[in-house]
Chain A
Amino acid sequence: MSEQELRIRKIRNGTVIDHITAGNALNVMKILGINGKEGLVVSVAINVPSSKYGRKDILKIEERELKQDEVNKIILIAPNATINIVKEYQVIDKKRLKLPAELKGFPRCVNPNCITNSGEPVETEFYVIQSEPLKLRCKYCQRITSQDDIFKQF
């Protein structure tokens, strides 16, 4: 299926998340807490050819908008994703996610002996040292939290 064909099946209202790093659509669904029981109409395309990235995943969710904290988490596993808000078959807003140089408040640090995991009233803080696959360095304990470590937190 070409990108063109995929675009033909438009949704009326909802969100289209495009250019998800190939193989990660199900993780994005995890972030959004979608398991099928909500009754939402969801279309998932996995490992479809992409002119830009070789392969990609696409997720179309009808009648659902994303909250900012959900968007912030999606960046961490799909840094190239774009989020299209659709109203009456029209894309009314298109956001390209951008991984910031530093992160605050999410994810948790992978190191159980990190001070941020001890109940102190403090948010985690990371430097992004690599985007794909993601590698974050904790500002407190300096340990590396990887993409896999983040997946385990969902």
Chain B
Amino acid sequence: MDFKNKSIISIRDMKRDEIDFIIKSAEILQDNWKNYKDYLKDRILGTLFFEPSTRTRISFETAMKRLGGMVVGFSAPEGSSLAKGENLIDTVRVIENYCDAIVLRHPLEGAARLAANYVKIPVINAGTGAEEHPTQALLDLYTIFKEKGGIDGLNIALLGDLKYGRTVHSLTYALSNYKVKLTLVSPPLMKIREEIIEDLKNKRIKITETSSLDEVINEIDVLYVTRIQRERFADATEYERVKGSYRIELKTLKNAKKDLIIMHPLPRLEEISQEVDYTNHAVYFKQVKYGLIVRMAILLLIFGFELK
């Protein structure tokens, strides 16, 4: 499979064999990544962050540097808008002259696809608008694959704000390539958009929706927790109540399977109690390392190196 010079724009563009190929490549890299430390030594990665995301940016920059490459770029400070002035198309056309690949984070949907249409170097989408964050979805799949030994056959629960969560949307589409049971757990107001369910109708994935984690906790193999944001609520009391009822504590896990894994895209606030960190369920910090490995694999692949 040839990823050389390919852009990574949307998980929806990717077929199962392509996703599996990236997972396989990451697995090869997992224990041998030090052998690849000079592979990208003459390459420069441009990281264009039109909205801030410290974690994603550091992950990509570390991935590039671990492979011997260099990084240039910028990150918009919180609340500012770099989008003023020069348009995105001109910006990427300028940056194309400096580097060999672009990592793009942008507040608007479709920005990465637009950028990729105007440059000859590969563009990696590092999060655009509310919809797409393909490398996050790939690292989530890789985490499940590594921790559970495979993806098919699992019952995977997504918990929290499923309506606005970018990670949730990308992960849902990614999982739809697998034969899994997807359990969507959210407050009624934060159910996943009907449009997404509609999109997945003809896929192999089986979806059930509920508002109660208690009802399903004993059946699930993976619990993917996301944050419920304050901004979505008009009423502070209502927010506290909803937030409290979806918080993961030791007692929440009383009936859980022994080998349940708990994931989180981070940063975590109060949605997972710290006491859970010390259980065997918690894999959210390992997820960060898997993310680094997946991004290293993606960089190697788009620069034309096959991992064998």
Please determine whether chains A and B interact with each other in the same assembly.
Answer: yes
A residues with CB within 8 A of B: 111, 113-116, 118-122, 138-144
Distance A118 CA – B113 CA, assembled complex (angstroms):
14
Q: Which residues of B contact A139 (CB under 8 A)?
A: 110, 113
Structural contact, A138 and B110, CB atoms closer than 8 A: yes
Interface magnitude class on chain B: 10 to 19
A142 in contact with B12 given A111-B109, A120-B89 (CB within 8 Å) = yes
Q: Which residues of B contact A113 (CB under 8 A)?
A: 107-109, 129-130
* Partner pick for B114 among A119, A140, A143, A144, CB 8 A cutoff: A140
Minimum CB–CB distance from A63 to chain B (whole Å) comes to 43
Minimum CB–CB distance from B118 to chain A (whole Å) comes to 9
* Partner pick for A120 among B10, B87, B130, CB 8 A cutoff: B87
Q: Which residues of A contact B88 (CB under 8 A)?
A: 115, 118, 120
Structural contact, A119 and B87, CB atoms closer than 8 A: yes
Q: Which residues of B contact A142 (CB under 8 A)?
A: 10, 12, 109-110, 131
| Chain B residue with the shortest CB-CB distance to A117 | B108
**A interface: dominant SS:** loop
B residues with CB within 8 A of A: 10, 12, 83, 87-89, 106-111, 113-114, 128-131, 195
Structural contact, B195 and A115, CB atoms closer than 8 A: no
Q: Which residues of A contact B113 (CB under 8 A)?
A: 115, 139-140
Minimum CB–CB distance from B170 to chain A (whole Å) comes to 11
Minimum CB–CB distance from A127 to chain B (whole Å) comes to 12
Distance A113 CA – B106 CA, assembled complex (angstroms):
11
Q: List 15 A-B contacts (CB under 8 A).
A: A111-B109, A113-B107, A115-B111, A118-B88, A119-B87, A120-B87, A120-B114, A122-B114, A139-B110, A139-B113, A141-B131, A142-B10, A142-B12, A142-B131, A143-B195
A140 in contact with B110 given A113-B129, A113-B130 (CB within 8 Å) = yes
Q: Which residues of A contact B106 (CB under 8 A)?
A: 115
Distance A139 CA – B13 CA, assembled complex (angstroms):
11
Distance A49 CA – B44 CA, assembled complex (angstroms):
67
